[in-house]
Amino acid sequence: MSKAVQINGFSYTYPDGTRALSDVTLTVEHGQKVALIGPNGSGKSTLLLAIAAFAKGTGTICLDGLHVNEKNTKKIRRLVGCCFENPDDQLFMPTLFDDVAFGPLNMGLISEQIKTRVSDALRTVGLENMAERAPHHLSAGQKRSAAIATILAMSPKIITLDEPDGSLDPASRKNLVKLLRTLDQTLIIATCNMDFAASIAQRAVLLDQGRVVAQGPARKLMCDAELMEDHGLETPAKIT
């Protein structure tokens, strides 16, 4: 059976010659929640972009058995949904309904299918009563949930999230944790927040200087104080 994500020897170099990823190899099982942890500049965001076919390097990446390459780009973009670090990058329509409907509309779905998908996605993230609200009137936490709804409406098998807890207050972060725990999709979450990562992820992959330094059960790996300190990270203060 194919894996949700299978990466073998993947490397990526920026146009200016900076090596962002070096010989990355990792596997993610279907339905797993995986935290990509590491200091700033370690390659986490670049790896998420590569998984979604936005950064083309050397080596291989397969999603659900499908090779990530130019020929398969359209299929890959339906298979994986990306939540970027800034939710405003995904919220640009007059109303929240329009934003969540944008993906299904471009997939060619009919009106009733689009309405159902939008309704289901907004209900999942707890924004079912805000469909006609202008996205720029939402709070930071609501914007993050809305960005996730735009992805859920497209029914991807895999969801990547780049620093999803950034700029959130404690209450909004707690709500986001609850939401992400309920999702059935494979989740790959890039974060520098070890408390946040430990509260969601089953596995953790530690990146530093573009290389996979360690990977394994999330709580065990992140509670290795020496390992975390060596790579500029903290151990989780608490695990809920």
pLDDT of residue 166: 84
DSSP 70: G
For 238, the 3-state DSSP assignment is coil
Name 188's bridge partners: 34, 160
Give Cβ neighbours of residue 65 (< 8 Å, ≥ 6 apart): 2, 3
Torsion angle (degrees, nearest 10) of CA 70, 75, 76, 82? 120
In-domain check, residue 240: no
168-211 residue pLDDT tens: 889 999 999 999 999 999 999 999 999 999 999 999 999 999 99
In-domain check, residue 21: yes
Q: Is residue 23 scored above 60 in pLDDT?
A: yes
Kind and range of the H or E element at 218? Answer: helix 218-222
Tokens coding 173: 């972060």
Neighbours of 101 (CB within 10 A): 22
pTM attached to this predicted model = 0.93
Res. 238 pLDDT band, cuts 50 70 90: low
In-domain check, residue 238: no
Average pLDDT estimate for 128-154: 94
Average pLDDT estimate for 222-239: 90
Q: What's 134's domain CATH number? A: 3.40.50.300
For the chain, the domain total comes to: 1
In-domain check, residue 216: yes
**Residue span of the structural domain in which 131 resides:** 5-230
Average pLDDT estimate for 4-21: 95
In-domain check, residue 23: yes
Q: Which percentage of the chain shows pLDDT scores above 70? A: 99
For 206, the 3-state DSSP assignment is strand
pLDDT of residue 2: 82
In-domain check, residue 236: no
> What length is written for the chain?
240
pLDDT of residue 167: 81
In-domain check, residue 110: yes
DSSP string, 132-155: TS-GGGS-HHHHHHHHHHHHHTT-
Q: Is residue 240 scored above 60 in pLDDT?
A: no
26-79 residue pLDDT tens: 999 999 999 999 999 999 999 999 999 999 999 999 999 999 999 999 999 999
Tokens coding 224: 């290795």
Average pLDDT estimate for 123-148: 94
Torsions phi, psi for 125 (to 5 deg): -95, 5
In-domain check, residue 235: no
Q: Is residue 146 scored above 80 in pLDDT?
A: yes
Average pLDDT estimate for 101-117: 94
Res. 226 pLDDT band, cuts 50 70 90: very high
DSSP 27: E
Q: What Å distances lie between residue 104 and 17, 115, 146, 228, CA to CA?
A: 38, 9, 15, 41
Tokens coding 49: 């972009």
Res. 239 pLDDT band, cuts 50 70 90: low
Tokens coding 79: 């298979």
Euclidean distance between CA atoms 210 and 38, whole angstroms: 10
Mean pLDDT for the chain?
94
Tokens coding 129: 């009563």
Euclidean distance between CA atoms 52 and 38, whole angstroms: 20
For 12, the 3-state DSSP assignment is strand
Euclidean distance between CA atoms 80 and 165, whole angstroms: 20
